Amino acid sequence: MDDIQAILNNMLRIAVDPTTAAVAIAVIGLNIHFGYTGLLNIGQSAFMLLGAYGMAISVTQGWPLLVGVIVGLAVAFVYALVLGVPTLKLRGDYLAIVTISAAEIVRYVGRSVGYEKLFNLTGGAQGIPGSRYRGPFSNLSFFGNGNTTILSFNYHDVSDSPVLRLLGWLVVVGLIILMVRVGRGRFGLGGYARIAAMIGLGLVTAMLVFFLAPVSQQNTGVNGWWFTVITWVLVGISLMIVLGLTTSPWGRALKGVREDEDAMRSLGKNVFAIKMQALIIGGLFGAIGGMMYVLPGSVQPDAMGRNLTFFCYTALLLGGAATIWGPVLGSLIFFVGRIGIIGIANTYLSSDKYINIMNGQQTAQFAFILVGVSLMLLVIFRPQGILGDKRELRFNV
Partner 1 sequence: MSETTTASGLADPAARRQLMSEVQPEPGSPKPDSILKVDNIVRNFGGITAVDVDHLEVQRGIITALIGPNGAGKTTFFNLITGFDRPTSAGQGAHWSFDGATLDRTSASRVAKSGMVRTFQLTKALSRMTVMDNMMLGAQNQSGEVLAKSLFKPFWSAQEKNIEAKAVELLRRFNLLEKRTDYAGSLSGGQRKLLEMARALMSDPKMIMLDEPMAGVNPALTQSLLAHVQSLRDEGMTVLFVEHDMHVVRHISDWVVVMAEGRLVAEGPAETVMSNQAVIDAYLGAHHDTDLGDDALLTDATLEQLEKEVAEEEAEREEERT
Among 199, 265, 351, 369, binds partner 1 (CB under 8 A): 265
- For partner 1, the closer of residues 255 and 306 by Cβ is 255
The answer to the question of residue 376 lying near partner 1 (CB under 8 A) is: no
Residue 156 is which amino acid?
H
One residue of 181, 186, 252, 390 binding partner 1 per CB under 8 A: 252
Tell which one of 266, 353, 361, 381 touches partner 1 (CB under 8 A): 266
Residue 243 beta carbon to partner 1: minimum distance, rounded to whole angstroms: 10
396 touches partner 1 by CB under 8 A: yes
Contacts (CB under 8 A) with partner 1, residues 27-86: none
127 vs 326, which CB is nearer to partner 1? 326
Binding mask 186-205 for partner 1 (x = CB under 8 A): --------------------
CA distance 246 to 252: 7
Of 52-60, 111-119, 137-145, 243-251, the segment contacting partner 1 by CB under 8 A is: 243-251
Q: How far is the CB of 283 from partner 1 (least distance, A)?
A: 14
Q: Does 237 bind partner 1 (CB under 8 A)?
A: no
Q: HSE (CB half, 13 Å, CA atoms) of 168? A: 22
Residues 286 and 29 sit within 8 Å (Cβ to Cβ) = yes
Interface with partner 1 (CB under 8 A), residue total 32
**What is the rounded distance in angstroms from the CA atom of residue 258 to the CA atom of residue 269?**
13
Among 46, 172, 264, 341, binds partner 1 (CB under 8 A): 264
Q: Considering only residues 272-291, where is the footprint of partner 1 by CB under 8 A? A: 277, 281
- 160: DSSP letter: -
**CA distances (Å), origin 375, targets 35, 42, 230, 331, 346:** 17, 17, 30, 13, 22
Is residue 91 a contact point for partner 1 (CB under 8 A)? Answer: no
- Angle among Cα 371, 214, 332 to the nearest 5 degrees reads 25
Looking at 25-33, 257-265, 284-292, 335-343, which segment touches partner 1 (CB under 8 A)? 257-265
Closest C-alpha to 213, from 278, 156, 294: 156
| Segment contacting partner 1 by CB under 8 A, of 51-59, 94-102, 227-235, 245-253 | 245-253
Closest distance of CB 196 from partner 1, Å: 17
* 299 strand-pairing partners: 128
Helices (H), the chain: 2-15, 18-30, 44-60, 65-87, 92-111, 116-122, 135-139, 155-158, 162-183, 191-212, 225-246, 249-259, 261-266, 271-294, 306-319, 326-344, 360-381, 390-394
Cβ within 8 Å of residue 9, ≥6 positions away:
213, 215
Instruction: Give the C-alpha separation, 172 to 169, whole Å.
Output: 5
Short-list 283, 223, 221, CA closest to 74: 283
φ/ψ of 213, rounded to 5, equals -140, 80
Q: How far is the CB of 114 from partner 1 (least distance, A)?
A: 40
Q: Which is nearer to partner 1, 69 or 284 (CB)?
A: 284
Query: Which residue type is seen at 379?
Result: V
CB of 32 to partner 1, least distance (A): 12
258 binds partner 1 (CB under 8 A): yes
Task: Establish if 248 lies at the interface with partner 1 (CB under 8 A).
Answer: yes
Binding status of residue 394 toward partner 1 by CB under 8 A: yes
Positions in the binding site for partner 1 (CB under 8 A) = 241, 244-245, 248-253, 255-256, 258-260, 262-271, 277, 281, 391-392, 394-397
